């Protein structure tokens, strides 16, 4: 038997090709549980969904979660009636791609919309964010809540925030199977927001706060209310983990980072180093330390006070024997009771959100009352909640749904018009000038990025600019500004990698959605300003940055401010555009004096940053200024 990938003693796995582990896992999962299906889109689209839900007919808010694989049973194992509607599976420890997320949204989302539950990692935020914007532009109602429950680190600086860790279990749960009278009473409380006084979750990243989302969705509440309750719950969540070993990615050799007799405290779930390395201690000492970190009044991550009733979740990370998990549970319960004055009403112990074959555990605590306990005790058909799943076996897979517009969008819509309107000529000139300027600036951008980043900003932007120039000749419907912006986003998404590519894709998608709201045939300067504002807001929302973080927004935010100010003052739109371009350039130059709070520049010493502007901001200012000058030239020669 021949293999073309390494297999030594440390990396032995019961797998075939390491590249196929996620798709083969899904196939095995579906064979075991007849209530689940998957979308027939392997290997790009990896989505597990409830077999009894059809998006077009589903009359409740769909709850969708997901992330990188390697954490099984999360998230696919918690899909089922009473828990998740769909789970989006990325490759091992990698965020799902936008196409997978969109496919999942289209497959299960009905008129009530869907809520995306996303762990706080940059890749997840950006990919789910772009998918959300795309889905909105297709007419779906979508909200997104980001969960960060890491209690191991002090309050963070910058935009990274607390990581999303274990949990997913308790929050995925809802009360679908309670008696009708209980459901009606619960919904009554939710409607009047009394729920905010008793749905206080404390430790479990996704699990605990999805329970609130599921419960609110089951009541038939509108999407905005479901999202609000989920957001509130996510702010009450805290988790901390301990690792005794490093996990092994399929087909790779185990890292020797963690030596004998050592343990890592406050680790993430992707094999990254923990907050601290310490000598291995007796489990009593370790459990006591973890609980103190979760319930610390100094960080105030979770609002737990003496006398509270709580639910305890002990989560194995993949290679921890059940015997050891039970020992941990046996030590945690009296510690919570005697040292913290809490009443422990339920204990759940098992492996719920793992990190492949990592030896270790995480502890989660949740504040509860009888209504919460009743919901957690209710049956569910999700396969990895400790209740068996029943039901007739439907087809194992169904087709990947197409975008709603696919069947009605003609080839002509995606073609360059035979004759350009005056507006089309101006738009063409602006796009050509902007893209050409980026091409010219490639080497300078790379030089700046070599000093403050990974050295490829210019090359990345160059690929996008070249694609735009080529696609514009054939595909851009230049007489339709909204659709043209959408196609620019498609060009960028096809060739630009990394964070820049997805940020600009989000930028274009949000601008497109705003322009589509305009029912007039001509797009005015105010319409363009509004679309720029929407695009900036989307990039800030999903990327996490804002003014002063040393990013492309430090060029675009001043440009927007100047543009709206001059337009509102009644200035000529072309002049306003030129003035805003000058503001963009000044904003980009000002990044020399900023401390980076986003991206790889965060790790660069301040004295180096002080001599170099942010390359992303300089690129944004350059294409913006080039577009403004081209528009001015067109109007002057008209």
Half-sphere exposure of residue 316, counting CA atoms within 13 Å on the CB side? 18
For residue 19, the model assigns a pLDDT of: 92
Mean pLDDT for the stretch of residues 424-440: 96
Integer Cα distance of 635 and 572 in angstroms: 11
The CA distance from 611 to 593, in Å, is 8
What is the b/e burial string over 124-134, where b = at least 16 CB atoms within 10 angstroms of the residue's CB? Answer: bbbbbbbbbbb
Element (H, E) at 207: helix 205-218
Instruction: For strands 397-398 and 343-350, give the pairing.
Output: unpaired
User: Token pair of 159, please?
Assistant: 């935009």
Please determine, for residue 57, whether its predicted confidence score (pLDDT) is greater than 80.
Answer: yes
The strand pairing partners of 239, in sequence order, are 150, 364
Tens digits of per-residue pLDDT, 402-417? 776 544 444 445 688 9
More confident residue, 547 or 258: 547
Q: Which residue has the tokens 């322009």?
A: 515
3 state DSSP class of 76: helix
Of all helices (H) and strands (E), which one includes residue 540? helix 525-543
* DSSP state for residue 399 in the 8-state scheme: P
Q: Which of 271-280, 309-318, 402-411 is predicted least confidently? A: 402-411
pLDDT at 193: 36
| Cα gap 143→622, rounded to integer Å | 33
Alpha-carbon distance of 78 to 350, in angstroms, equals 14
Confidence of residue 610 (pLDDT cuts 50, 70, 90): low
> Residue 162: what pLDDT?
67
Residue 32's alpha-carbon distances to 29, 47, 383, 400, 585, in angstroms, are 5, 16, 9, 22, 59
Tokens of residue 553, six digits: 């927004």
Residues 490-515: pLDDT tens digits? 999 999 977 889 999 999 999 999 99
- Residue 164: predicted pLDDT: 61
Q: How far apart are the first and last CA of the chain?
A: 72
Q: How far apart are CA 55 and CA 138, in angstroms?
A: 14
Reported as a single tens digit per residue, the pLDDT across 354-390 is 999 999 999 988 877 776 677 677 677 888 876 533 4
Which of 114-118, 444-448, 463-467, 610-614 comes out lowest in average pLDDT? 610-614
Average pLDDT value for residue range 284-290: 96
Which member of 270, 289, 406, 593 is catalytic? 270
What are the tens digits of pLDDT across the range 65-75? 999 999 999 99
Q: How confident is the model at residue 15, as a pLDDT?
A: 87
Q: What number is the average pLDDT over the span 96-114?
A: 96
Average pLDDT for 417-426: 92
**Model confidence band, residue 62 (pLDDT cutoffs 50, 70, 90):** very high
Burial label for 1, CB within 10 Å (0-12, 13-18, 19+), is exposed
CA dist., res. 419 & res. 399, Å (int): 39
Q: Is 80 exceeded by the pLDDT of residue 207? A: no
Is the CB of residue 542 less than 8 Å from the CB of residue 146? no
List helix spans (H) across 412-518.
Answer: 422-440, 442-452, 457-472, 481-495, 498-516
Tokens of 133: 């914007």
Nearest to 366, CA basis, from 136, 548, 166, 538: 166
Query: Average of pLDDT values for 4-23?
Result: 73
- Residues 559-583 pLDDT 10s: 999 999 999 999 999 999 999 999 9
Would you state the pLDDT for residue 607? 57
Q: Residues 311, 198: contact at Cβ < 8 Å? A: no
Band of pLDDT at residue 206, cut at 50, 70 and 90: very low
Q: How confident is the model at residue 11 (pLDDT cuts 50, 70, 90)?
A: low
Average pLDDT for 236-259: 82
Give the CA count within 13 Å in the CB-facing half-sphere of 548: 2
* Mean pLDDT of the chain, nearest integer: 82
Specify the pLDDT at position 230.
61
CB within 8 A of 510, min separation 6: which ones? 133, 531, 534, 535, 537, 538, 539
- Own/partner contacts of 340-345, CB < 8 Å, gap of 24 or more, are 340/291, 340/295, 340/304, 340/306, 341/306, 341/307, 342/304, 342/306, 342/307, 342/308, 342/309, 342/310, 343/307, 343/308, 343/309, 343/310, 344/310, 344/311, 344/312, 345/309, 345/310, 345/311, 345/373
Average pLDDT over residues 31-57: 94
Does residue 270 carry a catalytic annotation? yes
Give residue 327's pLDDT.
96
Q: Has residue 436 got a pLDDT over 90? A: yes
pLDDT of residue 539: 95
The pLDDT score that the predictor gives to residue 186 is 40
How far, in Å, CA of 235 to CA of 368, rounded? 15
Q: Which residue has the tokens 């009443």?
A: 343
**Minimum mean pLDDT among 82-91, 430-439, 490-499, 590-599: which range?**
590-599
pLDDT at 403: 74
Confidence band (pLDDT; 50, 70, 90) for 489?
very high
Do 145 and 227 touch, CB atoms closer than 8 A?
Answer: yes
- 320-342 pLDDT, tens digit each: 999 999 999 999 999 999 999 99
pLDDT tens figures, 150-178 = 667 776 655 666 666 654 566 545 433 33
Q: What secondary structure, in 3-state letters, does 92-161 show?
A: ECCCCCHHHHHHHHHHHCCCCCEEEEEECCHHHHHHHHHHHHHHHHCCCCEEEEEECCECCCCCCCCCCC
Q: Would you state the pLDDT for residue 413? A: 53
d(CA 574, CA 430): 12
* pLDDT at position 173: 56
Q: What is the mean pLDDT of residues 419-431?
A: 94
| pLDDT in the model for residue 158 | 57
Q: What is the per-residue pLDDT for 398?
A: 83
For residue 310, the model assigns a pLDDT of 85
Q: In angstroms, what CA-CA distances link 179 with 183, 185, 370, 450? A: 6, 10, 14, 63
Task: Identify which of 357, 353, 352, 363 has the alpha carbon closest to the alpha carbon of residue 330.
Answer: 363
Least confident of 121-135, 149-163, 220-234, 249-263: 149-163
The contacts of residue 597 (CB under 8 Å, 6+ apart) are 157, 158, 159, 545, 548, 549, 550
d(CA 450, CA 385): 49
Query: In the chain, what percentage of residues exceed pLDDT 90?
Result: 51
**84-100 average pLDDT score:** 94
């Amino acid at each position: 038997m021949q293999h073309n990938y390494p297999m030594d003693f440390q990396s032995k796995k019961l797998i075939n090709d390491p590249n196929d582990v996620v798709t083969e896992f899904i196939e095995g999962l579906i064979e075991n549980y007849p209530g689940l299906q998957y979308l027939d889109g392997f290997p790009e689209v990896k989505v597990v969904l409830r077999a009894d839900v059809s998006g077009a007919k589903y009359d409740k808010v769909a709850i969708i979660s997901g992330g990188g694989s390697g954490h099984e049973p999360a998230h696919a194992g918690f899909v089922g009636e009473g828990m998740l509607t769909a789970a989006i599976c990325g490759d091992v420890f990698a965020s799902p791609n936008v196409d997978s997320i969109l496919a999942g949204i289209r497959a299960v989302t009905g008129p009530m919309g869907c809520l995306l539950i996303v762990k706080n990692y940059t890749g997840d935020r950006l990919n789910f964010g772009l998918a959300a914007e795309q889905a909105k532009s297709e007419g779906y109602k979508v909200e997104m809540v980001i969960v960060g429950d890491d209690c191991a680190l002090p309050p963070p600086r910058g935009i990274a925030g607390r990581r999303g860790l274990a949990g997913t279990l308790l929050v995925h749960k809802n009360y679908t199977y309670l008696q009708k009278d209980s459901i009606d009473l619960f919904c009554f409380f939710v409607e009047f927001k009394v729920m905010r006084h008793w749905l206080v979750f404390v430790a479990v990243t996704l699990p605990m706060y999805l329970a609130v989302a599921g419960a609110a969705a089951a009541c038939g509440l509108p999407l905005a209310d479901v999202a609000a309750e989920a957001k509130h719950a996510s702010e009450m969540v805290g988790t901390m983990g301990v690792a005794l070993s490093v996990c092994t990615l399929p087909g790779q050799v185990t890292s020797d980072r963690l030596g004998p007799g050592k343990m890592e405290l406050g680790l993430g779930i992707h094999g990254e180093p923990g907050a601290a390395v310490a000598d291995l201690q007796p489990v009593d000492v370790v459990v006591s330390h973890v609980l103190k970190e979760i319930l610390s009044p100094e960080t105030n991550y979770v609002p737990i006070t003496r006398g509270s009733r709580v639910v305890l979740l002990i989560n194995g990370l993949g290679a921890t024997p059940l015997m050891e998990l039970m020992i941990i549970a046996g030590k945690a319960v009296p510690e919570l009771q005697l040292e913290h004055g809490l009443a422990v009403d339920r204990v759940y112990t098992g492996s719920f959100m793992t990190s492949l074959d990592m030896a270790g555990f995480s502890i989660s605590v949740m504040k509860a009352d009888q209504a919460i306990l009743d919901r957690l005790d209710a049956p569910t058909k999700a396969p990895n909640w400790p209740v068996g799943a029943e039901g007739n076996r439907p087809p194992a897979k169904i087709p990947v749904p197409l975008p709603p517009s696919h069947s009605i969008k003609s080839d002509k819509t995606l073609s360059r018009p035979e004759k350009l309107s005056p507006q089309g000529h101006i738009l063409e000139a602006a796009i050509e000038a902007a893209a050409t300027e980026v091409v010219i600036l490639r080497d300078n951008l790379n030089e700046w990025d070599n000093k403050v980043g990974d050295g490829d900003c210019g090359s990345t932007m160059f690929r996008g600019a070249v694609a735009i120039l080529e696609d514009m000749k054939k595909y851009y419907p230049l007489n339709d500004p909204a659709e043209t912006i959408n196609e620019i986003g498609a060009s960028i998404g096809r060739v630009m990698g990394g964070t820049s590519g997805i940020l600009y894709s989000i930028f274009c998608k949000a601008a497109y959605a705003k322009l589509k709201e305009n029912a007039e045939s001509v797009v005015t300067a105010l319409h363009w300003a509004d679309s720029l504002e929407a695009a900036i807001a989307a990039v800030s929302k999903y990327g996490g940055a804002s003014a002063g973080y040393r990013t492309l927004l430090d060029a675009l935010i001043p440009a927007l401010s100047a543009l709206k100010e001059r337009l509102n003052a009644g200035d000529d739109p072309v002049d306003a555009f030129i003035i805003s371009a000058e503001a963009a350039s000044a904003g980009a130059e000002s990044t020399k004096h900023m401390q980076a709070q986003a991206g790889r520049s965060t790790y660069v010493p301040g004295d180096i940053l002080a001599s170099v502007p942010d390359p992303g901001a300089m690129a944004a200012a350059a294409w913006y200024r080039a577009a403004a000058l081209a528009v001015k030239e067109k109007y002057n020669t008209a």
